[in-house]
Amino acid sequence: MQKLIINGGRRLGGEIKVQGAKNSALPILAGCVLAGEKVKLYNIPELSDVFAALRILSCLGVRCTYENGCVTADPTVIESVCVPDALMREMRSSIVFLGAVLARTGECRLTFPGGCELGPRPIDMHIRALRQLGVSITEKYGELICSCPHGVKGTVINLPFPSVGATENIMLCASMAEGETVINNAAREPEIEDLAGFLRTIGAKVRVSPSGTVRIKGVKTLHGGEYTVMPDRICAATFMAAAAAAGGEITLKGTVPSHLNAVTEVFEQAGCLVADSEDKIFLSAKKPLRAVREIQTLPYPAFPTDAQAPIMAMLTKAEGTSVITENIFTSRFRHVDELARMGADISTEGRTAVIRGVKKLYGAKVMAPDLRGGAALVCAALAAEGETTVTNIKLIDRGYENIEKTLTELGADIRREKS
């Protein structure tokens, strides 16, 4: 068990490179199953979730190596179609292996995925869509037994909600289907275009339209290739929230500023100066922050649910009252009670949180409730007076590559210790 010890109250400053996107890397790693030849991936972040995906690939018979952000995967021979329960439980994204394994082998056996506890996270849309593609799915003792001995057949799928995971699963499965698949009301998150970019690299015919339609013309085989994963927009938003909360001036390089438009708008409303050029974002927080207009988390291009907790941490010290409504998940305010231990004044009712800015936050002993909630506590700790101890940081390590190293580069006083 490890913990982070943070001495708050220091302004942040400097330039850091943002890591590759976890939420892109995981479905792309699943996509390696489809390739008939070696795949090389760059900008893969060093995260426990990435290692879990690599273990799933190994179980399937894909030989993988990881070195300095580069994954090589040799999926020439797929030896197994089963994903062990322990690996399924490690993360939500394990479910996207289903579409990939089915497309490549015609069968797959796995259990329900795990992941952060943010309220119910069903997979009914995934199942319904795969059935529409001709997959037979039965559930026995918690195991999903899936097969399509005659291959998958392209069709039109109208998603009831633009689910990121379901869109990815369909794209992976339909890449080797017979005929064309059209996904209407598909997710429009940048990670969808990144997965499409990877699939095109290995020979798939995928087109993503900005209006939320994805068209996939199935091909018989896919080949190898090299691909670089996009930057992590949620990590960028988190470090911006940290600098805004603690005060200071930071530059993030290796970003795609347009991916952060909805988040940037909130920082500007709070009184920060945000500028960008090419792949850099500059944020300056010199004055006390102000409360912002109501934030609603919604599918991209609106404000992302993953940035909700770090932004809330930043708003705890903003002058005035801010309101955040969480529309994606029913239980994504578990960081609120922990922030309260540090002196934050937040009340919640259902999906809405009301944040009344306080003059000071104080160091405290807090526990990461989930990945982004944990990152929010780190942001608050940097802005707090005194020492904060954050425990349960294995959840933070799921999504942030060596968070203490990155924040130390920005001048923070933060260290990792064994509990």
Residues in contact with ligand UD1 by the rule CB under 6 A: 23, 92, 120-126, 161, 163-166, 187, 189, 299, 304-306, 328-329
Catalytic residue among 32, 64, 108, 116: 116
Q: How far is the CB of 198 from ligand UD1 (least distance, A)?
A: 17
Which residue, 108 or 318, has its beta carbon nearer to ligand UD1? 108
Residue 370 CB contacts under 8 Å (≥ 6 apart), including other chains: 116, 117, 118, 332, 334, 335, 395
Q: Kindly state the smallest distance separating residue 77's Cβ from ligand UD1, in Å.
A: 30
116 is catalytic: yes
DSSP 203-225: T-EEEEETTTEEEEE--S-B--E
- Cα separation, 158 vs 167, whole angstroms: 10
Nearer to ligand UD1, 115 or 271 (CB): 115
Residue 92 or 317: which CB sits closer to ligand UD1? 92
Cβ-based nearer residue to ligand UD1, 167 or 389: 167
Alpha-helical runs (H) found in 351-409: 371-383, 403-409
Q: What is the DSSP string of 301-316?
A: TSB-GGGHHHHHHHHT
CB of 255: closest distance to ligand UD1 in angstroms?
Answer: 17
10 Å CB burial of residue 32 (0-12, 13-18, 19+) is: buried
Residue type, 352: T
Shorter beta-carbon distance to ligand UD1: residue 64 or 164: 164
Q: Say how many Å lie between the first and final Cα of the chain, rounded.
A: 5
Per-residue exposure over 263-292, b if at least 16 CB sit within 10 Å of its own CB, e if not: bbebbebbbbebebeeeebbbbbeeebebb
Closest C-alpha to 221, from 56, 103, 62: 103
166 versus 367: smaller Cβ distance to ligand UD1:
166
Positive or negative, the Cα torsion across 404, 405, 406, 409? positive
- Which lies closer to ligand UD1 via its Cβ, residue 92 or residue 335? 92
CA-based nearest residue to 37, from 181, 179, 221, 210: 221
Shortest distance (Å) from residue 169 CB to ligand UD1? 9
Report whether 184 contacts 129 (CB < 8 A). Answer: no
Helix (H) or strand (E) holding 138: strand 136-140
- We find the least distance from the C-beta atom of residue 161 to ligand UD1, in angstroms, to be 5
At closest approach, how far in Å is the CB of 80 from ligand UD1? 25
Measured between alpha carbons, how far is 297 from 393 in angstroms, rounded to an integer? 25
Query: What is the Cα–Cα distance from 270 to 290, expressed in whole angstroms?
Result: 5
Please identify, using beta-carbon distances, which residue of 75 and 304 lies nearer to ligand UD1. Answer: 304
Q: Which residues does residue 140 pair with via DSSP β-bridges, in sequence order? A: 143
* Residue 156 neighbours by CB distance under 10 Å: 10
Place of tokens 């068209």: 215
**Rounded Cα gap, residues 381 and 75, in angstroms:** 44
Active site residues: 116
